[in-house]
Amino acid sequence: MKSSQEADGDAFSTSLSDLMAGLLGVFVLALAYFMLNVGDIQNQYTGNTEKRNAMLKEIKAEMKQYDVDIQIVEDQGIIRIPAGVLFESGEADINGEGAEHINELSQVLYRVLQEDTYKNSVDTIFIEGHTDSDPIENHPRYRSNWDLSTERAINTLTKLEEDNESLKQLKNAVGNPIFSCSGYADTRPVTTDEERKAENRRIDLRFTMMPPKESSR
């Protein structure tokens, strides 16, 4: 027959074992919930990337109907327009041919962004101005490539919204304006090959999608 001290020890061991088993069960459930959420978020990121790439391809295809062969960079979510299509060398005023292309792009952008498939899925479209590394010297308006690239981005956005005022009303899922702009001068080249430096002179439209939401399960 066990003494009361031994019985108390057995009861304590049993209680401790039950507690540890219970904690292990809670841990397993929490880990399973976490892994499910991670999987959901990964799937949403993958879905966002696929949706963004499909959208870029659709915009490119529609612009092709206007004989405008824009470039897309899928892994960065970019529509790329060579600066020579829109601007004269060293200038930020959109030229005549460029104005036509911007007008066409404004209509295509609005149509595609309003499609049920893509509506409310875009967070921001950054309009980015880029130049090559040739310095600006004695220009009456631009002190540097920073000024030039930034004004090119601003003028592109202004022209888009002038040609299609509905673009001004577009907001993302949390109510913020979709469009933004910035200038990077020559700090983000696509090539360091001097013979191909014209490729660095460009306007990029960078599409970012709304971030995934944590599962509510």
Residue-wise pLDDT for 127-178, tens only, equals 999 999 999 988 899 999 999 999 999 999 999 999 999 999 999 999 999 9
| pLDDT for residue 214 is more than 90 | no
Q: Which of 20-29, 88-97, 123-132, 148-157 shows the lowest mean pLDDT across its residues?
A: 20-29
Q: Average pLDDT in the 89-101 region?
A: 95
pLDDT reported for residue 41:
55
Q: Whole-number mean pLDDT of the chain?
A: 86
- For residue 33, pLDDT over 60 is answered with no
**pLDDT at residue 38 greater than cutoff 60:** no
* pLDDT confidence of residue 43: 47
| Whole-number percent of the chain with pLDDT over 90 | 70
The burial class, CB within 10 Å (0-12 / 13-18 / 19+), for 110 is middle
Classify burial at 24, counting beta carbons within 10 Å of its beta carbon; exposed 0-12, middle 13-18, buried 19 or more: exposed
Beta bridge partners of 128: 182, 204
- Model pLDDT, residue 12: 47
- The whole-number pLDDT of residue 36 equals 54
Identify the pLDDT of residue 30.
64
Whether residue 72 has pLDDT greater than 60: yes
pTM: 0.78
Q: What is the pLDDT of residue 174?
A: 93
- Cβ neighbors of 15 (< 8 A, separation 6 or more) are none
Confidence of residue 216 (pLDDT cuts 50, 70, 90): very low
Q: Compare 191 and 26 and report the one with higher pLDDT.
A: 191
